[in-house]
Chains A and B, each alone.
Chain A
Amino acid sequence: MSVRRVLGTVLPALVGVGLAAYCAVKVASEVSPAFLTRRLGGMFPPSFDGVTLREIGATVATVLAAAAMGVSWGTFLYLFRALPREESTVRRWSAAVASLLARGFPEVAVLFCLQLFFGTRLEILLICVGLYTGGVLSRLLDITVTDDQREPYRRVRQAGATHAVAFVAVLTASVDLLLFRACLLRLDSVLRKVVILGVAGAGGIGLSLQEHYAYGDIAVVGGLCLLLLCFHAGLESLAALAGTGGHAPVPPTARRYAVGFLQGTGVLGWLFCLGRLATGSRPLALPYIDLPPLTYLGQRLAAAAMETVASALAAASIGIIAGSLIGLAASVELCRPRWLPYVIRLLLAVSRAVPDVLLVILAISAVGFGWSSGAVVLAVLSTITAAKLFADEVDSVGVSSYQALRALGASPLQSLTSGLLPQLGGQLTSIAYWQIEHNLRNAVLIGSVGAGGLGYFLVEARNAGSLPALVAGGLLACLLVGMVELLGRGAPRQP
């Protein structure tokens, strides 16, 4: 069995089994507390009991439901936008705007807006994460689905079928594989969103994490992080088994059923959440409409936006430089000794699993409140993401030109700069734009938990109960994301 297989599949699977065993022990201990004391002694910190199990269960369920809702929303957006390309410009543009709003309008702004109307409820968290995941997924599909894979749609349409029938034809013909992979990979970011939105006021494991840290209960914080890490490892393992890591792909029929299940669950999730909000026991309360003087609002918004843009750009530039160096070292094709890239990739995977919230809390402790702590967190996250993307790009481009230059006597540095980098220039630009866009969204989100910028502006607007300020902040963030996307359109290929 190869090292790649062990590191990519077996190890995460073992961790997942460990997590399951741990949860089983926890359940047993709750049913019979004596079991824990008798059999396992003081293995688990006492303060861990009765606090987190329910929250962990709720978080796992929320992640799965939000992912399913995101898949259904993302597919709808993609199909609405991409497929009728030749037929209706209005539809294409309206879907593009909807997609941009879904991706660019900060989920934390959606959360606060909905909280003004409905209070703090789990459905709101689901809707926020579902909207965000759907927006990103539709963009991912837009980038990755090729014209060949759209062919079934054209054939069915030419035969006189309606859009709906043609959509189904495309779904069942080719998009399902991409969807399956994408939603598995998206689960990872959904988990992050659920945790950080929890800190921003949506409850769940995120809030628990923050409270325990505030009380100095480091053992519980560590335990929670470990559990999140296990969950993350389980997701990586699933993604690897689904064929995203070069392993044998899942049979098409199983994949199709899995996607169908996710789609169905997602649609049901939307119906459930919207139904609950519409018919909930809590009556709709109109928010306090407070329109501050436009100049004041403008000044605050401009200052907050500048902080957010500055932290996003600074973090992206640091992340790209550091990430490309680490990415070269994590390239299986390039790096020697052969085990080193696997170790680096494992470390990258582990560091991706550290909750953003914890990084924010640590950064605030080190640097203090404000956008600089956000920039530090974003720089760390950007480095990790860019390293992974860059390593994957190096492996997909291949190193034949690098080896050819080495063979004719060029030094390793010369071979890199003259042989490999010219081939990766486009991808590097593309990763940079992706990173800036991603950082802008993340800067708003982590700003809402104390790292300044637009995020903190939104928190203040929520506390003041000002819907116009919330919407203005959200739209400005959306505009910034749209601008970066427009600038990045010239890049050869998106990651």
Chain B
Amino acid sequence: MPGTMLAELRDATLGYGRTAILTATSMRIRAGDRIALLGDSGAGKSTVLACLAGQTPTLAGGLTYFGPLASSRVPALHRPEIAWVPHEPALVADLYAITNVLHGCLGRLRLPRFHWRTYPRAERAAAADLLTRLGLAHVTHVRCGRLSRGQQQRVAVGRALLQRPALVLLDEPTSSLDPQSATALLRLLDDLVSCGSAVVLALHDERLAEVWATRRMRLVGGRLVEA
């Protein structure tokens, strides 16, 4: 339901190992939010996303999940309700694009799958639809190792969306895309938001952030502030 609290960072210190990158970071994410994280390269955008995804623990302060994210019994790191697409997509290069997208529904399935045909028919249809909407219908059965960087990034986004997540965290998803593909991607994210999910994007493009996001947050001098 729009407006439901999903996650909250409160006075958190973020970083890697013992090195703090961001201090006194506070942020609330509600269902239906479209948040753009802005900042220079190395400012800490990826760090915030990794922390929200449960990939890196906070050095101090707290991260709390609410609603559908809190109800899961598995650690945040392995929750299908959180979709995290880092800058490096980590696809399986030897498998087809559609198989990589289908990996997104593994969290809902019990048994391992060895071939894309062994996935449920409904999931296959959903994956094919996602690829079409991302402008990748012509590479459905091409191995990901042969795709361009931008195409790989879109396959990774497709995989994340097939998770049907409540919280989507994307690290510069439009950086390798042409304007048309970027628009198609943002349209998909809009659909997701209208279904009650929240989306957080790390972006460099100020204009795109202004057009798309409902909230813009900027990383300046090791702190996160509302823009």
Residues of chain A touching chain B, judged by Cβ–Cβ distance below 8 Å, are 400-401, 403-411, 413-419, 422-423, 425-426
Within 8 A of A (CB), among B33-51: none
CA distance A69 to B94 in the complex (A): 42
In the bound complex, do residue A409 and residue B112 qualify as a contact, i.e. CB atoms below 8 Å apart?
A: no
In the bound complex, do residue A409 and residue B163 qualify as a contact, i.e. CB atoms below 8 Å apart?
A: yes
In the bound complex, do residue B103 and residue A419 qualify as a contact, i.e. CB atoms below 8 Å apart?
A: yes
User: Given A414-B106, A414-B109, A418-B112, are A406 and B78 also a contact pair (CB < 8 Å)?
Assistant: yes
User: 9 extra interchain contacts, Cβ-Cβ under 8 A, other than A408-B103, A408-B159?
Assistant: A401-B90, A401-B92, A405-B106, A408-B104, A408-B106, A409-B108, A414-B106, A417-B112, A422-B92
In the bound complex, do residue B113 and residue A414 qualify as a contact, i.e. CB atoms below 8 Å apart?
A: yes
Most buried by A among B55, B81, B90, B93: B90
CA distance A426 to B79 in the complex (A): 31
In the bound complex, do residue A419 and residue B92 qualify as a contact, i.e. CB atoms below 8 Å apart?
A: yes
On chain B, the residues within 8 Å of A405 by CB distance are 103, 106
A418 CB, min distance to chain B CBs, angstroms: 6
In the bound complex, do residue A408 and residue B92 qualify as a contact, i.e. CB atoms below 8 Å apart?
A: no
In the bound complex, do residue B80 and residue A408 qualify as a contact, i.e. CB atoms below 8 Å apart?
A: yes
CA distance A426 to B111 in the complex (A): 24
Please, which residue of chain A has its CB at the minimum distance from the CB of B88? A400
In the bound complex, do residue B112 and residue A408 qualify as a contact, i.e. CB atoms below 8 Å apart?
A: no
Q: Does B77 contact A (CB under 8 A)?
A: yes
In the bound complex, do residue A418 and residue B103 qualify as a contact, i.e. CB atoms below 8 Å apart?
A: yes
List 15 A-B residue pairs with CB atoms under 8 Å apart, sorted by A's residue number: A404-B89, A404-B91, A407-B77, A408-B106, A408-B107, A409-B74, A409-B108, A410-B107, A414-B113, A417-B113, A417-B114, A418-B95, A418-B113, A423-B92, A425-B94
Q: What are the nearest 5 A-B pairs in CB distance? A: A409-B107, A409-B80, A410-B106, A404-B90, A417-B112
User: Given A407-B55, A408-B80, A408-B163, are A418 and B94 also a contact pair (CB < 8 Å)?
Assistant: no
Most buried by A among B78, B104, B160: B78
Q: Does B185 contact A (CB under 8 A)?
A: no
Name the contact of A407 in the complex, choosing from B53, B93, B109, B111 (C-beta under 8 A): B53
CA distance A405 to B74 in the complex (A): 14
On chain B, the residues within 8 Å of A401 by CB distance are 90-92
User: Given A414-B113, A417-B113, A417-B114, are A409 and B106 also a contact pair (CB < 8 Å)?
Assistant: yes
On chain A, the residues within 8 Å of B90 by CB distance are 400-401, 403-404
In the bound complex, do residue A409 and residue B92 qualify as a contact, i.e. CB atoms below 8 Å apart?
A: no
Most buried by B among A409, A413, A422: A409
Query: Contact mask B48-91 → A, CB, 8 Å, 1/0?
Result: 00000101000000000000000000100111110110001111
On chain B, the residues within 8 Å of A418 by CB distance are 92, 95, 99, 103, 106, 112-114
Name the contact of B94 in the complex, choosing from A400, A403, A414, A422 (C-beta under 8 A): A422
CA distance A414 to B81 in the complex (A): 17
A400 CB, min distance to chain B CBs, angstroms: 4
CA distance A418 to B92 in the complex (A): 8
On chain A, the residues within 8 Å of B108 by CB distance are 409
A411 CB, min distance to chain B CBs, angstroms: 8
CA distance A411 to B74 in the complex (A): 11
In the bound complex, do residue B77 and residue A406 qualify as a contact, i.e. CB atoms below 8 Å apart?
A: yes
CA distance A418 to B101 in the complex (A): 12
Most buried by B among A404, A407, A423, A426: A407
B100 CB, min distance to chain A CBs, angstroms: 9
A410 CB, min distance to chain B CBs, angstroms: 4
A200 CB, min distance to chain B CBs, angstroms: 44
B87 CB, min distance to chain A CBs, angstroms: 12
CA distance A411 to B91 in the complex (A): 17
